[in-house]
C-alpha cells in the first residue's frame, strides 16, 4: 500500500490516493519511514478521519508531529471489528515493533515481586523478577530490592509460612532453625493442618493487597475469642501479631477516609523530558509510588495517558476501583471495557475537579516533578563526568558507550571472558556478553583476552554498535593485546582503548593505574578521583559478571555424577534413579530387578547401570564426582 512519492510533493498530495481509499471503520495504522521501519503505531475509531487529520492540518500540528509526518513514506492499516480490538492490537504491535515515537514502558523485569504459589498444599513466598502466567499470585513489582525484602521481613516475623525452597521442602527430614525459633510451622516434617495453613496464607494475601486494617480487625476478633475460651497462649500470640500489624500501618500515610483502592497517575514535563508517576492508595493508605521516564513521543496528553494506561495495566496484578488521571483519554470507554474484562468488575477513570481527589492528583504530580528533577540532575552529573573522563584520558570521542573485558579461570581450567556495557554512565545489562575460551587450553591471560576481543569485534557489520571506549582489565600487556586485535581488524581509528591495572602495594602504589596508547606512564587521576572510581566501578562490574559465569561453568563440571557416563541414561532416567534411591550407594546395592521395576527403565538400561557401577572403583567415584556416596545427588540441573 505504498503511495506515489514524487520529489517535491507535499505529504498531503503524496498520500492523497491512500487517504481517499481508507475505510471509516475502527482499526490500527502503522507509519513507516523510507527504510520500511515502523516509527509510529496508532489506533482510531474512524481510520479515514484520524489519518486525514495528520495531513490536512500540518501547520497546526506540534513540531514533533510535523517531524513524524515528514518521515512517513508508507502507511499500513489493519481493520478491526471494534474499538476494543483496535486497543488490544495497538498494544501488541507497539510491543512488537517498539516504534520510536510511541509511548513505551520499560519491562518490569528489573523490579522485584513476591510470588506465592497457591497451587501447592503449603505455599511459600519467594522473590522473583520475572512474572509468568503459572497460576501463582504475584505482588508488586516493588520499587526497589530493599522494599521487597523489608516487606518479606515483616511477613516472616508476623506469619509462620515455610521459608525453604520447594526442592529442599521435598527432601528435608527434620525441622530447620526457623521452626526452632518459632518462625515456621515446619510442614516439611511435622503434621500441619492444611486448612489452618491456608487460612494463614489468606491473611498474608490480605496484608500484601494492602488490607492490613481488615486483617487487624480479624486478628483482634480471633484474639478475643481465644481469650474467652481461656486459650491464653494463643491469645498472646494473636495479640503480638496484631501489635506488629498496627506498627506496620502506622508507618503508612493515611490520605483518604473513604478507604477506597485507587491509583493516581501524575505527570511531569520539563524541557521536553516526560515522566509518569503512579501513586497507589490501598484502603486509604499510600502504599507506594512507581516512576516511568518516557521517551520522545508525538502523542497528545490524552493519547499519552491512554497508551500508558493500556500498557501499565496489561501486566498489573491488581486493578483498583478508581484511576485518577491528569487528562481523560479520547478512547476512555474502550480502555474501561478492556480493564473491566481483566478485573471482572467496573472501573472508573476520571480527571478530578474538586475535593480530596484533586489533592491526590497534585500529590502525584509533585512526586513526578521531584523524581524528574532528580533524574535530570543525575543525568547531568553523569554527562559532566563522561566529559571529564574524555578530557583526562585524551579520548577522541565522547564515551557514551563503554565496554569492559575481564577474564577468569582457575589455573587455566575452564577459562572464560566477560564483557559489560555502560551507556551514558549506566549499566546496559542487555548488552552483557560472556565467552567460553575455545582456542587456548594453557593458562595464558593474553591469549584469552585476544580470543574474546576477536569474537566481539571480528564480525564486520554484525559487531556494531562499537563502543566509544574499550577498557581491558590489566596493564600494558593487555592494552597492547587489545591494540593488536583492533589493528588486525582495521578498527583502530573507530574506538578508544584504555587498560585499568590494580595497584601493586609491594611497589608502594596507592591507586589503580590507567594506561593509554602511546604513553609510557599511567594517566594521573589524583585530581579527578571520581573519574577513577567510575572506571573502577565498570571494572568491578566486569569482574563480578565474569566470576559469576565462571562459577557456573565450574559448578556444572564439578558436580557431575557417575550416572552421566552410562549409555542410555539421560536426564529423565538419571533423575528417576536419584529420586527413588537417593544415593549412589543405594543404587549400587539395588538388584537388577529393583532397577528394572522403575517406570521408564528396561532391562538393557538397568544392566548398563549395574555394569557401570560394579566396574567402577569406589575411590574413583569419589574423586571424579567430588561428592560422597552417601550424599543425595540433586545436581542434574548443573551438568555442563
Residue 459: what pLDDT?
A: 92
Check residue 631 and give its pLDDT. 39
pLDDT tens, position by position, 283-327: 777 777 888 888 777 788 898 999 999 888 887 778 999 999 999
Q: How far is CA 129 from the centre of its chain?
A: 5
β-strand partners of 630: none
Of 7 and 380, the structure prediction assigns the larger pLDDT to 380
The residue among 46 and 562 whose pLDDT is bigger is 46
> What pLDDT was estimated at residue 488?
95
In the numeric block, the cell 501547520 is attached to 59
pLDDT digits (tens, 9 = 90+) for 317-369: 789 999 999 999 988 998 999 899 888 888 999 999 988 899 899 989 998 99
Please determine, for residue 58, whether its predicted confidence score (pLDDT) is greater than 70.
Answer: no
Q: Which residue has the higher pLDDT, 272 or 101?
A: 101
| The CATH classification of domain 11-97, taken from the options 3.40.1440.10, 3.40.630.10, 2.40.50.840, 3.40.50.300 | 3.40.1440.10
Q: In a 3-state reduction of DSSP, which class is residue 252? A: coil
Grade residue 4 by pLDDT with cuts at 50, 70 and 90.
Answer: very low
CATH fold for the domain made of 401-556: Nucleotidyltransferase; domain 5 (3.30.420)
Q: How many CB atoms lie within 10 A of CB 23?
A: 11
pLDDT surpasses 90 at 513: yes
Q: Which CATH number fits domain 559-638: 2.30.29.30, 1.10.10.10, 1.10.150.20, 1.10.357.10?
A: 1.10.150.20
Among 459-473, 577-591, 605-619, the range with the most confident prediction by mean pLDDT is: 459-473
DSSP, res 400: S
Is residue 554 predicted with pLDDT exceeding 80? no
d(CA 305, CA 358): 17
C-alpha span between 344 and 337 (Å, rounded): 10
Residue 30, phi then psi, degrees to nearest 5: -120, 120
Average pLDDT over residues 245-266: 70
- Average pLDDT over the chain, rounded to an integer: 82
DSSP letters for 31-72: EE-TTS-EEEEEEESSHHHHHHHHHH-GGGS-HHHHHHHHH-
Alpha carbon distance 279, 287 (integer Å): 8
Predicted confidence at residue 637, as pLDDT, reads 34
Closest CA to 294 of 268, 275, 272, 309: 275
Other CB atoms within a 10 A radius of the CB of residue 571 amount to: 12
Give yes or no for residue 617 having a pLDDT over 70.
no
Query: What is the pLDDT averaged over residues 396-422?
Result: 89
pLDDT of 63 above 80:
no
Share of the chain above pLDDT 90, in %: 27
Give the whole-angstrom CA distance, residue 340 versus residue 262: 15
User: b vs e for 584-616, b when ≥16 Cβ sit within 10 Å of the residue's Cβ?
Assistant: bbbbbebeeeebbebeebeeebbebbbebbeee
More confident residue, 1 or 481: 481
Asked if residue 403 lies in contact with residue 415, where contact means CB atoms within 8 angstroms, the answer is no
The pLDDT value recorded for residue 107 is 52
262-372: CATH topology: Nucleotidyltransferase; domain 5 (3.30.420)
Which tens digits make up the pLDDT trace of 463-503? 999 999 999 999 999 999 999 999 999 999 999 999 999 98
For residue range 415-445, what is the model confidence (pLDDT) as tens digits? 899 999 999 999 999 999 999 988 876 788 8
pLDDT category at 620 given cuts 50, 70, 90 is very low
Is a pLDDT exceeding 50 seen at residue 456?
yes
What pLDDT does residue 632 have? 41
Domain ranges of the chain: 11-97, 110-254, 262-372, 401-556, 559-638
pLDDT level of residue 624 (50, 70, 90 thresholds): very low
Q: Is the model's pLDDT at 11 over the cut of 90?
A: no
Q: What is the mean pLDDT of residues 14-37?
A: 85
pLDDT for position 162: 87
Cα–Cα distance, 514 to 68 (Å, whole number): 45
pLDDT at 57: 67
**Fold equal for 262-372 and 559-638:** no
Amino acid at each position: 500500500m505504498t503511495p506515489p512519492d514524487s520529489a517535491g510533493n507535499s505529504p498531503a498530495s503524496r498520500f492523497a490516493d491512500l487517504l481517499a481509499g481508507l475505510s471509516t471503520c475502527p482499526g490500527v495504522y502503522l507509519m513507516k519511514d523510507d527504510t520500511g521501519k515502523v516509527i509510529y503505531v496508532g489506533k482510531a475509531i474512524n481510520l479515514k478521519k484520524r489519518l486525514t487529520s495528520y495531513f490536512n492540518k500540518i501547520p497546526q500540528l506540534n513540531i514533533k508531529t510535523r517531524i513524524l509526518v515528514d518521515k512517513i513514506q508508507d502507511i499500513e492499516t489493519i481493520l478491526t471489528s471494534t474499538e476494543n480490538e483496535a486497543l488490544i492490537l495497538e498494544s501488541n504491535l507497539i510491543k512488537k515493533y517498539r516504534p520510536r515515537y510511541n509511548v513505551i514502558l520499560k519491562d518490569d523485569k528489573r523490579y522485584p515481586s513476591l510470588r506465592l504459589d497457591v497451587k501447592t498444599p503449603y505455599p511459600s513466598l519467594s522473590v522473583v523478577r520475572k512474572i509468568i502466567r503459572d497460576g501463582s499470585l504475584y505482588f508488586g513489582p516493588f520499587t526497589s530490592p530493599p522494599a521487597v525484602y523489608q516487606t518479606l521481613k515483616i511477613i516472616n516475623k508476623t506469619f509462620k509460612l515455610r521459608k525453604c525452597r520447594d526442592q529442599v521442602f521435598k527432601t528435608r527430614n527434620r525441622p530447620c532453625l526457623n521452626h526452632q525459633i518459632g518462625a515456621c510451622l515446619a510442614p516439611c516434617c511435622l503434621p500441619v493442618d492444611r486448612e489452618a495453613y491456608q487460612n494463614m496464607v489468606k491473611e498474608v494475601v490480605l496484608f500484601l493487597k494492602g488490607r492490613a486494617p481488615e486483617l487487624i480487625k480479624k486478628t483482634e476478633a480471633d484474639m478475643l475469642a481465644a481469650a474467652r475460651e481461656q486459650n491464653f497462649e494463643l491469645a498472646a500470640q494473636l495479640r503480638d501479631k496484631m501489635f506488629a500489624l498496627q506498627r506496620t500501618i502506622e508507618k503508612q500515610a493515611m490520605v483518604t477516609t473513604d478507604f477506597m483502592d485507587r491509583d493516581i497517575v501524575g505527570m511531569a514535563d520539563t524541557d521536553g523530558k516526560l515522566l509518569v508517576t503512579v501513586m497507589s492508595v490501598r484502603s486509604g493508605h499510600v502504599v507506594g509510588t512507581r516512576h516511568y521516564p518516557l521517551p520522545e513521543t508525538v502523542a497528545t496528553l490524552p493519547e499519552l495517558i491512554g497508551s500508558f494506561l493500556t500498557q501499565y495495566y496489561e501486566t498489573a496484578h491488581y486493578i483498583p476501583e478508581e484511576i485518577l488521571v491528569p487528562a481523560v483519554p479520547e478512547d476512555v470507554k474502550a480502555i474501561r471495557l478492556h480493564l473491566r474484562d481483566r478485573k471482572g468488575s467496573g472501573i472508573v477513570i476520571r480527571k478530578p475537579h474538586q475535593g480530596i481527589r484533586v489533592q491526590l492528583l497534585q500529590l502525584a504530580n509533585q512526586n513526578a516533578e521531584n523524581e524528574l528533577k532528580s533524574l535530570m540532575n543525575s543525568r547531568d552529573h553523569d554527562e559532566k563526568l563522561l566529559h571529564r573522563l574524555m578530557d583526562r584520558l585524551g579520548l577522541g570521542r565522547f564515551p557514551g558507550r563503554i565496554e569492559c573485558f575481564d577474564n577468569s579461570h582457575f589455573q587455566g581450567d575452564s577459562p572464560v571472558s566477560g564483557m559489560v556495557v555502560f551507556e551514558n554512565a549506566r549499566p546496559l545489562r542487555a548488552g552483557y556478553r560472556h565467552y567460553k575460551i575455545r582456542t587456548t587450553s594453557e593458562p595464558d591471560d593474553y591469549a584469552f583476552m585476544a580470543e574474546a576481543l576477536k569474537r566481539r569485534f571480528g564480525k564486520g557489520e554484525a559487531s556494531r554498535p562499537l563502543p566509544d571506549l574499550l577498557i581491558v582489565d590489566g596493564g600494558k600487556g593487555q592494552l597492547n593485546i587489545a591494540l593488536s586485535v583492533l589493528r588486525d581488524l582495521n578498527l583502530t581509528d573507530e574506538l578508544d582503548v584504555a587498560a585499568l591495572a590494580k595497584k601493586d602495594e609491594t611497589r608502594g602504589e596507592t591507586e589503580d593505574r590507567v594506561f593509554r596508547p602511546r604513553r609510557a606512564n599511567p594517566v594521573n587521576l589524583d585530581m579527578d578521583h571520581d573519574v577513577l572510581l567510575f572506571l573502577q566501578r565498570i571494572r568491578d562490574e566486569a569482574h563480578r559478571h565474569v566470576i559469576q559465569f565462571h562459577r557456573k561453568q565450574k559448578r556444572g563440571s564439578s558436580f557431575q555424577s557417575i550416572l552421566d557416563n552410562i549409555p542410555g541414561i539421560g536426564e529423565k532416567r538419571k533423575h528417576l534413579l536419584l529420586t527413588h534411591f537417593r544415593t549412589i550407594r543405594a543404587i549400587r546395592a539395588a538388584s537388577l530387578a529393583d532397577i528394572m521395576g522403575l517406570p521408564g527403565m528396561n532391562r538393557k538400561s538397568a544392566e548398563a547401570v549395574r555394569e557401570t557401577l560394579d566396574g567402577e572403583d569406589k575411590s574413583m567415584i569419589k574423586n571424579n564426582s567430588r561428592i560422597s556416596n552417601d550424599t543425595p545427588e540433586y545436581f542434574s540441573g548443573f551438568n555442563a
